[in-house]
């Protein structure tokens, strides 16, 4: 009797241990945590194939799960003012909340190409951490199915277009082949000229390179350029030395002129103006006298008047000369009168 009871106890203990191990295995495999959690709502336009129970990971570490996926009406949400099709409620362990900031990003991704979909969290930056019950905008997964569908439609349209324009495409390919053959023949016939042109081009490039090198050596790195730079530096240095004294002298001269202009009164200015008027009057009279003298001189040169006749008439000059010669030989004619 005691042996059978001992066997039953052993069997019961074995069953309890198995149930405990099974429970631990379920908790570990399902990522179930018994710690405190907080909820966050994530809005998606299209979350892909993600389902409730999928994990929520941050930096590859599981931090929570998706509790619920709710399809909402197309009208804007009264709390956020956004149009939301699907809202996911996720639960995250409380110990990770201080690492998730208010500007964190939630997006759907997969483990590998065909792996399990989950929500990944980029923690963000800043001093403000995320608050429980907040609603954020999530980013859906890449629409590979939509891409494949559109690519299939595009390929189908391309194939249909090629089939509809087969003859035109055949003609284009034929013409292109003819152009290529003619180009090859032209190049084959003129290969010597092409080689000569390439050789001339290379020689021109070498000459240009040499010209640039010599020009740089002469006008950039040469002694003449250095002398010009030295002279420019000396000129700038002398200007720096001479300009301040000249500026001081100019300022002193301006100050003196201002002092003189301030010292001169209205009476002195009137006297100066009168003197200038007298000078102008004398200048005008001198110009009139000079004009008269010029006219008299011109008349004398033309032989007008007594002086002009005496100076310019050769007959009168000859008569006077003959008279003087006669008086020199016969001075008694001064005293004798018939």
What are the domain boundaries of the chain?
Answer: 32-141
Looking at residues 78-100, what average pLDDT do you find? 83
Tell which phi-psi region holds residue 132, choosing left (phi > 0), alpha (psi between -120 and 50) or beta. beta
DSSP-based three-state secondary structure for 91 = strand
Looking at residues 312-321, what average pLDDT do you find? 64
Longest dimension (CA), the chain: 219
Contacts of 309 (CB under 8 A, 6+ apart): 303, 316
What's residue 122's pLDDT?
92
Q: pLDDT higher for 299 or 104?
A: 104
What's residue 282's pLDDT?
73
Q: pLDDT higher for 319 or 127?
A: 127
Number of residues that make up the chain: 338
For residue 186, pLDDT over 70 is answered with: yes
The mean pLDDT value of the chain amounts to 78
Distance CA 212, CA 116 (A): 66
What's residue 143's pLDDT?
75
Range list of H helices, the chain: 2-30, 144-164, 166-189, 191-215, 223-263, 266-302, 305-312, 314-329
What's residue 17's pLDDT?
81
Neighbour order of strands in the sheet with 117-122: 105-110, 117-122, 55-58, 61-71, 86-93, 37-44, 135-137
Structure tokens at 108: 């759907």
Looking at residues 95-110, what average pLDDT do you find? 90
Residue 151: band (very low, low, confident or very high) from pLDDT cuts 50, 70, 90: confident
- pTM (2 decimals)? 0.40
- Rounded to the nearest angstrom, the gap between the alpha carbon of residue 232 and the centroid of all alpha carbons in its chain is 33
Q: What are phi and psi of 58, to 5 degrees?
A: -135, 120
Looking at residues 182-211, what average pLDDT do you find? 84
Contacts of 136 (CB under 8 A, 6+ apart): 40, 41, 42, 43, 104, 106
Contacts of 3 (CB under 8 A, 6+ apart): none
Structure tokens at 93: 């362990």
Rg (the chain; Cα; Å): 59
Distance CA 208, CA 211 (A): 5
Question: Are 138 and 88 contacting, i.e. CB atoms less than 8 angstroms apart?
Answer: yes
What's residue 121's pLDDT?
92
Distance CA 148, CA 153 (A): 9
């Amino acid at each position: 009797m005691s042996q059978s009871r001992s066997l039953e106890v052993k069997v019961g203990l074995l069953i309890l241990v198995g149930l405990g191990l099974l429970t631990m295995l379920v908790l570990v495999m399902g990522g179930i945590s018994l710690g405190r959690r907080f909820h966050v709502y994530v809005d998606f336009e299209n979350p892909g194939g993600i389902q409730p129970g999928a994990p929520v990971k941050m930096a590859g570490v599981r931090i929570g799960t998706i509790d619920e996926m709710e399809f909402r009406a197309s009208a804007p949400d009264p709390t956020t003012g956004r149009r939301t099709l699907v809202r996911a409620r996720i639960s995250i362990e409380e110990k990770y909340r201080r690492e998730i900031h208010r500007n964190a990003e939630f997006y759907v991704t997969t483990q590998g190409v065909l792996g399990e979909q989950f929500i990944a969290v980029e923690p963000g930056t800043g001093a403000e951490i995320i608050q429980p019950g907040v609603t954020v905008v999530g980013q859906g997964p890449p629409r590979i199915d939509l891409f494949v569908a559109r690519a299939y439609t595009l390929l189908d349209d391309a194939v249909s277009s090629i089939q509809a324009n087969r003859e035109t495409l055949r003609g284009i390919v034929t013409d292109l082949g003819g152009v290529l053959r003619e180009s090859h023949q032209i190049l084959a016939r003129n290969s010597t000229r092409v080689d000569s042109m390439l050789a001339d081009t290379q020689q021109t490039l070498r000459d240009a390179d040499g010209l640039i090198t010599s020009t740089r050596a002469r006008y950039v790195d040469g002694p003449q350029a250095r002398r010009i730079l030295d002279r420019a530096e000396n000129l700038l240095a002398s200007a720096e030395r001479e300009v301040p004294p000249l500026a001081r002298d100019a300022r002193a001269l301006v100050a003196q002129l201002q002092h003189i202009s301030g010292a001169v009164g209205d009476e002195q200015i009137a006297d100066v103006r009168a003197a200038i008027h007298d000078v102008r009057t004398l200048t005008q009279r001198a110009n009139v006298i000079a004009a008269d003298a010029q006219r008299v001189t011109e008349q004398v040169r033309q032989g007008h008047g007594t002086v002009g006749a005496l100076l310019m008439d050769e007959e009168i000059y000859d008569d006077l000369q003959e008279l003087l010669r006669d008086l020199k030989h016969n001075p008694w004619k001064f005293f004798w009168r018939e």
